[in-house]
């Protein structure tokens, strides 16, 4: 026990300490407020499926798009030392392409949905590559480079379907966006798990993680070692493009409706925040995708908690900001250093005490 707590404070969990503490605090707060807050129950939905329901499910389910975007955002942050603020707009484009292709067919079957997914993916990857080229080749600051797509992305999404809010009714889409018959877990949650596994495998069987980190830590050193830094940077944006597409399709499938103005609105800031809460340096370099995923759940849990407390949704952002200021300050290097020092002093004091006791 002692060694465990020591490890925790001495940075054994490393960057995951802050997000895990944040989650623990939120859980404790909610349990005190309402002991039944996290209760999960099985219920039958209107399609006749037995499904899981409850606040916890709502949190994990609701954070899906954010978690997926945060994974990609972590990679871009690590490689480029900057963030992509166009993910929300790009997701709207991907969602619109997805619906456009689906509506082009006379019937909606698995084949056309897969085709629609691939087309949306391709488009999102092209936009990702566009951002990546601006950043890697033309050396534009990432936030400025992606500001372009952030500004015009939703207009482009509008052109694809000519405005309006196209609706699609299909059991396949509701299978992606809510539940597959026979499986009580919301499909978006399964998709997040799948994406996390894909990233894990990618890092295990390729040297992508190492290469990304070396580009982020010291670009010129990486170049001297023969790493194609331009390619790695563009690749990170293209991978984010895939994440954007998946998130956009989940968002669209949830309701079977695409509204280019509101789909994943303001999600870019939450995604960057998830990366930051996850303890990743926004200046690039070392990273942990698991941290960002936990960060996404922290944000969603915060939102759900505030809703459950009936905080007016206009005020939610302000309350969120307060909690985030606390998290970011606690996670800042200055506070961490001070805290480390304090812990170390305590430990050495205790050691001295026990020594003194032994001598006596």
Partner 1 sequence: MKRFKALALAAVLALSLVLTACGKTGGGSNGPIKVGVINNPPSESGYREANVKDMEAVFSAANGYELKTFYSIKNDEQLQAAQGFITEGVDYLLISAAETTGWDEVLTKAKEAGVKVYLFDRMIDVDESLYEAAVVSDMAAEGDTAVKWLLDQNLSEYNVIHIQGAMGSDAQIGRTGALQAQFDNGTMNCVVQQTATWDEAEAKNIVESVINSGESFNVIYAENDGMAKGAVAALDEHGITHGVNGDVIVMGFDCNKWALRELKDGAWNYDGQCSPFQAQIISDLIKGVKTSSDKVIINEEKGFDAKTITDSDIDTYGLGE
Per CB under 8 A, residues contacting partner 1 are: 43-47, 51, 53-55, 58, 62, 155, 158, 162-167, 178-179, 251, 254-255, 257, 259, 261-265, 303-304, 307-308, 310, 312-314
Residue 98 and residue 248 in contact, taking contact as beta carbons nearer than 8 Å = yes
CB-wise, 52 or 235, nearer to partner 1?
52
CB of residue 311 vs partner 1: minimum separation in angstroms?
Answer: 9
CB of residue 296 vs partner 1: minimum separation in angstroms?
Answer: 15
19 vs 37, 119, 291, 300, CA distance in Å? 20, 36, 7, 13
CB-wise, 101 or 208, nearer to partner 1?
101
CB-wise, 18 or 176, nearer to partner 1?
176
CB-wise, 38 or 339, nearer to partner 1?
38
Residue 240 and residue 76 in contact, taking contact as beta carbons nearer than 8 Å = yes
DSSP state of 164: S
CB of residue 155 vs partner 1: minimum separation in angstroms?
Answer: 6
Q: Which phi and psi (to 5°) does residue 107 adopt?
A: -120, 155
CB-wise, 45 or 230, nearer to partner 1?
45
Greatest distance between any 2 Cα atoms in the chain? 89
- Grouping H, G, I as helix, E, B as strand and the rest as coil, residue 318 is helix
CB-wise, 136 or 257, nearer to partner 1?
257
CB of residue 320 vs partner 1: minimum separation in angstroms?
Answer: 14
CB-wise, 140 or 316, nearer to partner 1?
316
Residue 95 and residue 168 in contact, taking contact as beta carbons nearer than 8 Å = no
CB-wise, 167 or 207, nearer to partner 1?
167
Rounded Cα distance between 32 and 8, Å, is 25
DSSP 62-122: HTHHHHHHHHHHHHHHHHHSS--TTHHHHHHHHHHHHHHHHHHSSS--HHHHHHHHHHHHH
Nearest residue to 214 via CA among 224, 205, 200, 206:
224
What is the CA 184 to chain-centroid distance, rounded? Answer: 23
Residue 275: half-sphere exposure toward Cβ, Cα within 13 Å: 29
CB of residue 198 vs partner 1: minimum separation in angstroms?
Answer: 25
CB of residue 169 vs partner 1: minimum separation in angstroms?
Answer: 9
CB of residue 249 vs partner 1: minimum separation in angstroms?
Answer: 14
CB of residue 316 vs partner 1: minimum separation in angstroms?
Answer: 9
Nearest residue to 268 via CA among 253, 248, 284, 283:
248
CB of residue 194 vs partner 1: minimum separation in angstroms?
Answer: 21
Cα Rg of the chain (Å, integer): 22
CB-wise, 3 or 36, nearer to partner 1?
36
């Amino acid at each position: 026990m002692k060694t465990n707590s020591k490890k925790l404070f001495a940075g054994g969990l490393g960057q995951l300490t802050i997000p895990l503490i944040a989650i623990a605090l939120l859980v404790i707060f909610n349990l005190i407020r309402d002991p039944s807050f996290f209760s999960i129950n099985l219920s039958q939905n209107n399609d006749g499926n037995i499904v899981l329901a409850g606040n916890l499910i709502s949190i994990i389910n609701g954070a899906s798009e954010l978690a997926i975007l945060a994974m990609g955002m972590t990679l871009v942050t690590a490689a480029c030392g900057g963030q992509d603020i166009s993910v929300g707009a790009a997701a709207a484009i991907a969602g619109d392409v997805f619906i456009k292709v689906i509506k082009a067919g006379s019937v909606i079957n698995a084949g056309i949905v897969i085709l629609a997914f691939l087309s949306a993916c391709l488009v999102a990857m092209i936009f990702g590559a566009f951002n990546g080229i601006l950043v890697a080749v033309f050396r534009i600051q990432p936030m400025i480079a992606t500001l372009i797509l952030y500004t015009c992305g939703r207009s482009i999404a509008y052109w694809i379907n000519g405005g309006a809010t196209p609706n699609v009714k299909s059991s396949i889409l509701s299978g992606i966006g809510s539940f597959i018959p026979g499986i009580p877990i919301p499909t978006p949650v399964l998709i997040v798990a799948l994406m996390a596994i894909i990233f894990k495998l990618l890092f295990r069987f390729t040297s992508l993680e190492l290469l990304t980190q070396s580009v982020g830590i010291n670009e010129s050193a990486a170049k001297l070692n023969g790493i194609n830094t331009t390619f790695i940077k563009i690749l990170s944006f293209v991978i984010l493009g895939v994440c954007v597409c998946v998130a956009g399709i989940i968002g669209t499938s949830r309701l079977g409706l695409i509204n280019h103005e509101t789909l994943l609105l303001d999600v870019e800031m939450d995604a960057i925040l998830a990366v930051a809460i996850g303890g990743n340096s926004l200046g690039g370099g070392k990273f942990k995708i698991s941290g960002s995923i936990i960060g996404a759940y922290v944000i969603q849990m915060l939102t759900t908690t505030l809703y459950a407390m009936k905080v007016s949704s206009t005020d939610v952002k302000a309350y969120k900001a307060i909690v985030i200021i606390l998290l970011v300050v606690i996670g800042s290097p200055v506070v961490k250093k001070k805290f480390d020092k304090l812990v170390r002093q305590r430990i050495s004091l205790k050691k001295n005490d026990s020594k003194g006791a032994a001598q006596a």
